[in-house]
Amino acid sequence: MSRSDRKITNFLLTPKFQLKLTYYYIGIGMSIIISTGVTVFYKMSVIRDIMNNSVVTDFGAQSKISAEMFFIAQASLVGFVAFAISSFVFALMVSHRIAGPVVAITAVINALKKGNYNYGRKLRPNDELTLIMDNLHELKDVLADEEAKQKIQ
């Protein structure tokens, strides 16, 4: 396929699966980023109020500003770590939903290569490669019928 034949619509091969997971990822990521941003914005407004209501050289005011800045750094770090952890969990879920069925599909294909047409595996209800497994089961039945016809002749 040449580059000119590619379309942006071909990017979404299984839109239901891809968009659902994308929306989850964006939703969780945005909620973490927004909550971190709101916290930082609130603390920055506290710092602004301290600076507006205090003498800059006042030790108490500078101590409060320092404490608020430290809190902002902590909140930003917690937000980043939460986003990193949620990204890891998301990647793990996606890979599990694809890698698990690939193992099962490979086992069915290996059984078919050995001529074992009675072998069958089912995928979990939410796995994304059930269409391929269903087609493999249909192929298994067709091959078994063909072998039975050849034995009769």
Query: Positive or negative, the Cα torsion across 100, 101, 107, 110?
Result: negative
Spell 119-141 as b/e; 16+ CB within 10 A means b.
Answer: eeeebeeebbbeebbeebeeebe
Task: Name the pLDDT band for 128 (thresholds 50, 70, 90).
Answer: confident
In this model, does residue 95 exceed pLDDT 50? yes
pTM of the entire predicted model: 0.57
Q: Are 108 and 119 spatial neighbours (Cβ–Cβ below 8 Å)?
A: yes
Q: What pLDDT is stored for residue 6 in this prediction?
A: 53
Cα 89 to Cα 104: distance, rounded to the nearest angstrom: 22
Give the C-alpha separation, 51 to 76, whole Å. Answer: 22
Q: How far apart are CA 142 and CA 146, in angstroms?
A: 6
**How crowded is the C-beta side of 122, counted as CA atoms within 13 Å?**
3
Say how many domains are in the chain.
1
Q: What is the pLDDT of residues 50-81, one digit of tens each?
A: 878 876 667 887 788 888 889 988 988 998 89
Domain of residue 52: give its range.
3-152
